[in-house]
Structure 1
Amino acid sequence: MSDPVVRAVGLTRVFEDRVAVSALDLTVDRGRVLGVLGPNGSGKSTTVRMLTGLLRPTAGTVDLFGERVTPSSAPRLRARIGVQTEANLYHRLTVAENLRTWGDLHGLSRATTERRLSEVLEILGLADRRDTPVGSLSKGLRQKANIGRALLPEPELLFLDEPTAGLDPASALDVLDHLGKLRAEGDTTIVLCTHQLHGLETLCDDVVMLDRGRVVAAGEVTDLLVTHWPIRDYVIRVGDRALAERAVTYLRASGAAVDDPESADPSLHDLYFRMLAGEES
């Protein structure tokens, strides 16, 4: 088996007297999507900065593509990844000029940059804004341009920090839909940090849930749901209100028409709030 694309062991960061991230362990295998979930201030952004080599951990190690991240290796490893954070774009440059600059920094040929620039802007619905200065865009459109910058080099590993923040519902769905396509293709490994859970049910393979810098749950999504809710619930609908009041075990015996049972299984949303509330399985 090949090494995980991302591996962190005992990852810790302390700022003065505040522990931002404490003893975080995680692995992300090739082609999978890891959701790093938690409320604001839980340590998600700090985690991304450490995983990408932009912030040195107080303790612990990070390996990307099977290689230890160090001050000397980080720049070379970052050439293989895409990162979307709150970092500012150049407001006086147009959307296209920003992406061309980013393409140059990644060492892309001009032909490759122009091809990817057009593809990314089309994907994100920014084709008609390519010649618009970034400073005149709305917050949501600037967020899209930031995501475009991360997608431009077709990275093997993609880090996204609150990618749907500031986006309207339709735009957020467009972004999540494209991430779903990347996941289906299996060539891109994604680490997605967010506190907005809508759309993540079918996107994330694994999750790590943080609260005040500490892990409160981690694992494959389906396994976590089964662990915390081992008994499955169903909703059975009947046409007669009086029959609905009878015990479920007698419905079919009575000859009443019973539709196929609908699953009422808990969701990732339910797990998130259970774990943040400190409930145990």
Structure 2
Amino acid sequence: MRTYSLDDVYETRKRRDSWWTVYFVDPVACRVALSVANRTQLTPNGLTVLSLVLGMVSAACFATNLLVAGACIFYMSFMIDCVDGKIARLKGTGTPFGLWLDYVGDRVRVVLCAGGLAYGQYALTGDVRYVVLGAAVAVLDLFRYVNAPQMKRVREAVREERQELQPLDVPMERAELEPLVRLPRGRSFPRRLNRFLARHRVRSHLVSGIEFHAAVFVVAPLAGAWALIPLAVVSGVLLLVNEIFLVYRMWRFTRRHRVASSQESREHVLV
């Protein structure tokens, strides 16, 4: 059996990831993945199931008002969820079913933990706001992970249509290099910031689904019950802002495609 090094594990990290994962999860997950790869026969699917079981334990802790324990176990669940992907890429043992299992397991974990938090705090205080909190967290998470694949499908459909409309005398290499959305040239602050973040493997989104989960299920419970609603509201609003921005970018992408397609159609008629 091959022995892997820490550098091998580092190669399995995503090219760009959320800042929470890069700074607070990967340093632990990479070393755990190294031990799992060299000392166990655990499969990526087995790790995904373990992550889901830990998520259930975290939800039970939240439901019984063991907030600190619930936060620590949720962190462990998410960390193991990162390890399964690293093992799959390291050993080449990933499967389509594993992708489905990982995706569904994440959603189940979030819904259970949101329900656990809502139940535990409502049973303790009788404050209906915690019920609303649990429902809102679950809905926001489902919206985020339903919206993302749909936007991906739209972008893929536009690219396919773009290739079909590409003139036959234009080499495919050139067609693929012509971006539909052109970024302004120059050394603007956003471009410099994006390059800086890219060098550190950090995505430019301030709050994505991962940061939202971390705020609600790790940071807020560790801070105390008083922080649950404020942090959930702030992180939820930032997540919605991020989603709206992504939808806006997708709209610009499709709009520019329509303009480009119209211009190409007129050029074909003139020719």
| TM-score, length of structure 2 as denominator length | 0.23
Structure with greater helix percent: 2
